Structure 1
Amino acid sequence: MASSTVTSSQPERPARPNLAFRQLRGRRSPAEFAALVRRAAREIGERVSCDARYIGRVEAGEIRCPNYAYERVFLHMFPGRTLSDLGFASRSSVRGRAARTAAGPAGPAESRGGSEPYESRETRETEETHHPLVLQAARNSQDSQEQYELHEPHEKHPLNHEESDVLRRAFMTGGGATVAAAALAPLGLTTGAAAAERPPRRAGTPEAAALEEAVRRIRLLDDRHGADGLYRRAAAPLRAAYALLDAGATRQTTADRLHAGAGELAISVGWLAHDSGRFDDARSHYAEALATARMTGDPALEAHAFCNTAFLARDAGRPREAVRAAQAAQRAAQPLGSARLLSLLALREAGGWAGLADRTGCEQALARAQALFERGRSDADPEWMSFYGEAELEGLEAQCWSTLGDWRRASRHARRAARLQDPHFTRNIALYTAELADDLAREGRPDEAAEAGLRVLALLDQVQSSRIQTMLAGTARVLLPHRRAPGVAEFLDRQRARRA
């Protein structure tokens, strides 16, 4: 595990908090307010991947002016108000001619036509501007603009918060690997022959931001499309992240962000390996994240790493290890103050007990998970838990009952999970419906199982997940003796054709 060399000779300029925006959020948690932003975006036909971290950055003053998509959404949410009323600076003062004049002659990135996120321009230092990865990000950004004919300036920027039309087109035409290339290459977090020839300079704010954005994009793409095809592309940014740690950082705060970002990226890449059936690779990535957490004393990262390790151990047939890892995660998470995180970790423990055929232990952990979940969301909930809502609670409980052989109870919870899931999480809808199909087949309801299986097959035009395909193969084996039941033959034929 790499360590970094940190200097503090250039203290970071403090941002001015956006108190007006914080007041508008009211008593809602950042995650709840982010959900309202996403809903408002859908109402006007915008696509923004707003999350709790983005809301936090706005309120902290790190984002002085939103990009055009967020501007339209915010003005839709608060009709009659201007950006100034919402606590933002004018666009010209952050990005336009006045800002460039005040800053002096354009640097290399600007002269090539690259743009910067509005929130990072005022904190840029000369050394960071000329960092090899930053310059490469600007070049990649320009290449992407010429290749894909995107519609607005903010959509061409390597650190924007929207999944542009090009990503959707890339997935439909070229699969997950093409999507990953389109999403991750503009961030500059890649490794190749040119990068190997010279060690990078010390990292600064732009590199930390690029690393954090890579994590967000990987999670977004996985939510919608599944892991297959993304994994190998996502490994390159991870190697670049640890190269940044080797090179060191300009400031201690940047070093902390780099370590946390590298750890979260290792977990995200580990999950892609996990979901695509590469268990050994996943175990290695999770161990790497855990080592980073232990080295830096980061309990939130440690809890996340143990959480995913428990999930992997359950899927790999090591239920006792799953229980131990989940319990270790709960110990690490206890001081963090997030009831929802503890609820998820109790579900991880329940999965381990189910694998051990310990019904009592499983039921106790499930009851604890439900009680913690009912305490609601809080500001202490980690950003990566945006997927964890009532649908995921139901889905994980369904898996526990399925492991224990209680098919009727399992199918009931799986049905609820699929019905409750936010349409944004296409992969999870497919996963829960595949779980439902398998539970119904084993419960002795082949016609309903086939109907659910056909719904999953329709979603596989958008989702690539070895886990889901493996589940469908198991369901097909159970349904083979029931081929004459309504819908079963069609399901079996279509499932076989897809695997061919």
Structure 2
Amino acid sequence: MASSMVTSSQPPGPPRPNLAFRRLRGQRSPAEFAAAVRRAAREIGEQVSCDARYVGRVEAGEIRCPNYAYERVFLHMFPGRTLTDLGFATRSSVRGRRSRTPEDAPPSCTTIPAYATGETRGADEPYDTEDTPDPYGAHSPYETHDNEESDVLRRAFMTSSGATVAAASLSPLGLAFDAAAAGRPVRRVGASDANALEEAVRRIRLLDDRHGADGLYQRAAAPLRAAYALLDAGVTRQRTADRLHSGAGELAISVGWLAHDSGRFDDARSHYAEALATARVSGDDALEAHAFCNSAFLARDAGRPREAVRAAQAAQRVGRSLGSARLMSLLALREAGGWAGLADRTGCEQALARAQALYERGTSDADPEWMSFYGEAELEGLEAQCWSTLGDWPRAARHARRAAQLQDPHFSRNIALYTAELADDLARGGRPDEAAAAGMKVLDLLKEVQSSRVQTMLAGTARVLRPHRRASGVSTFLERHGSLPRTA
């Protein structure tokens, strides 16, 4: 039976916070409560994609009435209560719809795909239980658009050993699938699962270094969902549990970076927040510092420089105990980027000086594994970005040129990034011919690198160069750039 699409004659008022639901969460964080919802769903054979963002939307009153899948889960979690007791509106009052009879509701055993709203919809229930559109659009942090692939990846995490994962092909993302285990229930997990998770993090980072984020993001969301399912499955040893928490958090950051680099800032923010929550639940200072580090970088790119400064300073507070001068150097650079965004030249210069001094202390065994990208080239590249933000184009160009020259050839994406930075700084600094030559190098690199960040920078450079078509090489660059396929 198709559900009615008749809406109320009166427009809905502003959402009212769901205080009853908030009280039921108690002292648990949104991420912890979301994990409890997913566990309860599995207990009754449901499939929901609950995350901290969904919990926040419920508590904010944006979801007045959950869909049938969530309704069954919530009533299972809180037996004896009704939807009204949980702070929701009655189904009949939402958008003027009549109440459904039990015969109208989808059966509880139906397999239902997950959608970008963070809810699992019933078969006859289009987006009719929410009052506001999803601010994250079609790219939910925990969803892909290929549910069959998601199932394969999820089962791979739960059934494959670390050795199998490491040896498997890269399709999809190097995770193997044991078809005989497709119907096997989730078991207690162990060290082999932690190995598999850590290997997936390394593999995603390697692919990003070589090829950029755009082609990876959708595939990487499914392993992330599988990683958090592992945390819910039960672990016998505390050391394994700690490794799983750390691995899941690092994977959330890696997937967040893929979202960040491909221009999905809202998705990236959600992933980084999930990693931060995981760090705090497990008391993992290294993971917390990493989450704050990436959050600072994202805030700078998203035009929130004051937030970037605060996040970088928070990362430095928690990172001091880790004993890594190189980590503290990178965090000082993140702070410098925030000060540059605030046009605070003094604050930026002070943070840059700290970053340089800390970098010169050298490497140590305490340096995190994820910092393999941070060498002299990255130091120069991030300083170039600071001077560019402050409008000192000649100084920015000097550092960007040095960054591109110093970068290890393995990091194709970073070479493209630094060269794009150089092209933009040269263009804005009144050197259009040199800018066009650098831009041509970036166009060559885009054959193997897919990065919306790089493409966005190059598009900005092209706009700056258009009035200088008569300069040597500029017209050729603009024509070649104009022939690039437009990304969605």
Matches within 5 A, 1:39-438: 133=156, 136-137=159-160, 157-160=164-167, 181-186=171-176, 199-438=185-424
Secondary structure in 2 matching 1:243: helix
Q: What one-letter code is carried by the residue in structure 2 that aligns with 1:214? A: A
Q: What one-letter code is carried by the residue in structure 2 that aligns with 1:159? A: A
Q: TM-score, normalised by structure 2?
A: 0.66
Alignment deviations for residues 375-397 of structure 1 (CA, whole Å, 9 cap, x no partner)? 00000000000000000000000
Higher helix share: 1
Matched residues, percent identical?
A: 78
2:445 corresponding residue in structure 1: 459
Q: Contact 1:395–1:414 (CA<8 Å) still a contact in 2?
A: yes
Q: 1:206 Cα shift?
A: 1.1
Rounded Cα–Cα distance in structure 2 between residues aligned with 1:187 and 1:467: 33
Q: Contact 1:187–1:210 (CA<8 Å) still a contact in 2?
A: no
User: Which of the numbers 460, 470, 474 marks the counterpart of 1:484?
Assistant: 470
1:98 corresponding residue in structure 2: none
Rounded Cα–Cα distance in structure 1 between residues aligned with 2:303 and 2:187: 44
Total equivalences in the alignment: 336
2:433 corresponding residue in structure 1: 447
Rounded Cα–Cα distance in structure 2 between residues aligned with 1:379 and 1:187: 35
Rounded Cα–Cα distance in structure 1 between residues aligned with 2:291 and 2:187: 29
1:119 corresponding residue in structure 2: none
Matches within 5 A, 1:23-38: none
Secondary structure in 2 matching 1:249: coil
Q: Contact 2:157–2:197 (CA<8 Å) still a contact in 1?
A: no
Q: 1:229 Cα shift?
A: 1.5
Q: What one-letter code is carried by the residue in structure 2 that aligns with 1:352? A: G
Are 1:475 and 2:458 matched, yes or no? Answer: no
Rounded Cα–Cα distance in structure 2 between residues aligned with 1:391 and 1:294: 32
Q: Which has the higher contact order (CA 8 A, sep 6+)?
A: 1
Alignment deviations for residues 259-286 of structure 1 (CA, whole Å, 9 cap, x no partner)? 0000000000000000000000000000
Q: Contact 1:231–1:273 (CA<8 Å) still a contact in 2?
A: yes
Rounded Cα–Cα distance in structure 2 between residues aligned with 1:293 and 1:396: 26
Structure 1 residues 135 and 366, CA, compared in 2 at 3 Å: closer, same or farther?
A: closer
Rounded Cα–Cα distance in structure 1 between residues aligned with 2:165 and 2:321: 35
Q: Contact 1:133–1:200 (CA<8 Å) still a contact in 2?
A: no
Q: Contact 2:339–2:347 (CA<8 Å) still a contact in 1?
A: yes
Q: 1:182 Cα shift?
A: 4.0
Q: Contact 1:227–1:276 (CA<8 Å) still a contact in 2?
A: yes
1:145 corresponding residue in structure 2: none
Q: 1:363 Cα shift?
A: 0.2
Q: Contact 2:250–2:275 (CA<8 Å) still a contact in 1?
A: yes
Q: 1:187 Cα shift?
A: 7.4
Structure 1 residues 133 and 186, CA, compared in 2 at 3 Å: closer, same or farther?
A: closer
Q: Contact 1:223–1:425 (CA<8 Å) still a contact in 2?
A: yes
Question: Which structure 1 segments of 5+ residues have no match?
Answer: 5-130, 142-153, 168-180
| Structure 1 ranges of 4+ moved more than 6 A | none
RMSD: 2.2
Alignment deviations for residues 374-424 of structure 1 (CA, whole Å, 9 cap, x no partner)? 000000000000000000000000000000000000000000000000000
Q: Contact 1:450–1:487 (CA<8 Å) still a contact in 2?
A: yes
Rounded Cα–Cα distance in structure 1 between residues aligned with 2:378 and 2:156: 37
Rounded Cα–Cα distance in structure 2 between residues aligned with 1:136 and 1:447: 56
Structure 1 residues 495 and 349, CA, compared in 2 at 3 Å: closer, same or farther?
A: same
Structure 1 residues 469 and 134, CA, compared in 2 at 3 Å: closer, same or farther?
A: closer
Q: Contact 1:307–1:325 (CA<8 Å) still a contact in 2?
A: yes
Q: 1:446 Cα shift?
A: 0.4
Structure 1 residues 132 and 364, CA, compared in 2 at 3 Å: closer, same or farther?
A: closer
Q: 1:202 Cα shift?
A: 1.1
Structure 1 residues 288 and 487, CA, compared in 2 at 3 Å: closer, same or farther?
A: same
Q: 1:133 Cα shift?
A: 4.3
Structure 1 residues 447 and 230, CA, compared in 2 at 3 Å: closer, same or farther?
A: same
Rounded Cα–Cα distance in structure 2 between residues aligned with 1:484 and 1:447: 9
Alignment deviations for residues 51-75 of structure 1 (CA, whole Å, 9 cap, x no partner)? xxxxxxxxxxxxxxxxxxxxxxxxx
Secondary structure in 2 matching 1:498: coil
